[in-house]
Structure 1
């Protein structure tokens, strides 16, 4: 997979969340009459945020379901928790070999930070 693209009606707020609140760098951006977007590096994977208001044919954007989430694997869950600039629950160990915490972006998309524990899946 090359990257994940999310279309939003809240472009400025969502972009600010990923860049400033979560600290993911913008690696590419564009601002044209019929398209505006930011592409972020989220730890080796790319996340593209597209401004639905600028699309030539805007999409019907609905509240996200629980069918997908963005998962960011980290080597130090405590450091990741300290680094982000949004309120997040404390990391918790799972029964399946990981420690994680989850936040939601301004559109409600779940973003899970996950560290595999010794003996957990990789």
Structure 2
């Protein structure tokens, strides 16, 4: 495939399945500061067939992460609970968000926001990182490149 080929994919969104859309939306909007683009529901036979889940319907929230769209989705019926994974687990996902000052971001967090370490760390590559967990335990990397 070449860059001018109509079949070459381009990024549209990064999706995260959540157990409680309202709780997760509050975290991504209020704690991480992402702007809500839209909220909507989808159901019906074509949707269920498209996602491969019998009788599926879902509620969605799209958020703007500085030009990257983050999609939060809550399914009915719910699938298996895969919380508590580590970033080095095969198939693990995480969302990476850049901030100008990770230390200031860390200091702004309320005590109920779970962090992986007790504060930011600067890696050998010179990148300062801090991993937080959303309400379902999904890791979100906050970084200062």
TM-score, normalised via structure 2 length: 0.65
Q: Give the number of aligned pairs.
A: 112
1:120 corresponds in structure 2 to: none
Match of 1:51 among 74, 80, 84: 74
What is the deviation of 1:7?
Answer: 1.8
Q: Structure 2 unaligned runs (5+)?
A: 1-10, 44-56
Task: Give 1 or 2 for the bigger CA radius of gyration.
Answer: 2
1:63 corresponds in structure 2 to: 82
Computed over aligned residues only, the root mean square deviation of the Cα atoms, in angstroms, reads: 2.2
SS in 2 for 1:52: strand
- Higher relative CO (Cα under 8 Å, sequence separation at least 6) belongs to 1
SS in 1 for 2:30: helix
1:96 corresponds in structure 2 to: 125
Match of 1:78 among 85, 103, 106: 103
> 1: distance between equivalents of 2:18 and 2:125?
33
Q: Structure 1 unaligned runs (5+)?
A: 117-122
TM-score, normalised via structure 1 length: 0.76
